[in-house]
């Protein structure tokens, strides 16, 4: 494994700054200061995120919303919404199982960054996405924010899953670069 200082340096910037959906490029949507539109929609700062030199993605919750259920969230890096999602259960468990052990899809980001450009096992973060995470964090000085709020969930037409209309609105309005479901 590379020395921590060299690890992120060996990952080139992603160019262009977008991911693909069905083979078609989807450019990022510029959001002028994401904080203002999110707080106007009653989103509150829930966590601070940081990409460490060893490629570890650190999430530090600083709000009691971390303990709430039925949450919609927006991950903001450099004033742009880069990922959004929902959590039906306790919000922090969307990212952690216990202590600092990551769970959910975010647990795959750190290993993908650390192993770049080696592909991860099925279901893991692809190298191009790991590259985009690093590029976005690099351009933002290594820091990001997660905004969250309580949300309403409704049954899907099949009744098997729960949908969050606010998440759908965020996805359609901002086309977050790091949402696989929006590619």
Domains of the chain by start residue, with CATH: 4-14+21-182 (3.40.1440.40)
Check if the beta carbon of residue 77 is closer than 8 Å to that of residue 144: yes
Check if the beta carbon of residue 110 is closer than 8 Å to that of residue 102: yes
Condensed to tens digits (0 to 9), the pLDDT of residues 40-78 reads 889 999 999 999 998 988 888 989 999 999 999 999 999
Q: Give the per-residue pLDDT at 95.
A: 83
Opening angle at CA 144, ends 141 and 150, nearest 5: 170
DSSP-derived 3-state class of residue 117: coil
Q: Give the per-residue pLDDT at 29.
A: 42
Supply the mean pLDDT for the chain: 81
Check if the beta carbon of residue 61 is closer than 8 Å to that of residue 45: no
Which pTM does this prediction carry? 0.81
Question: Which helix (H) or strand (E) element contains residue 61?
Answer: strand 57-61
Check if the beta carbon of residue 114 is closer than 8 Å to that of residue 7: yes
Check if the beta carbon of residue 41 is closer than 8 Å to that of residue 59: no
- CB count within 10 Å of CB 177 equals 25
| C-alpha to C-alpha distance for 49 and 141, rounded to whole angstroms | 11
């Amino acid at each position: 494994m590379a020395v921590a200082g060299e690890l992120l340096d060996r990952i080139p910037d992603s160019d262009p700054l977008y991911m693909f959906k069905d083979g078609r490029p989807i450019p990022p949507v510029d959001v002028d200061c994401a904080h203002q539109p999110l707080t106007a929609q009653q989103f509150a700062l829930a966590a601070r995120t940081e990409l460490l030199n060893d490629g570890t993605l650190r999430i530090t919750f600083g709000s009691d919303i971390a303990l709430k259920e039925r949450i919609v969230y927006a991950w903001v890096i450099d004033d742009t919404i880069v990922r959004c999602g929902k959590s039906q259960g306790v919000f922090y468990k969307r990212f952690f199982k216990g202590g600092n052990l990551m769970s959910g899809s975010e647990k795959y980001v750190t290993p993908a960054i650390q192993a770049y450009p080696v592909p991860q096992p099925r279901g893991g973060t692809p190298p191009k996405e790991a590259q985009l995470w690093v590029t976005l964090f690099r351009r933002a000085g290594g820091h990001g924010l997660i905004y969250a709020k309580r949300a309403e969930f409704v049954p899907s037409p099949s009744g098997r899953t729960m949908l969050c209309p606010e998440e759908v609105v965020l996805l359609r309005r901002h086309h977050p670069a790091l949402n696989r479901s929006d590619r």
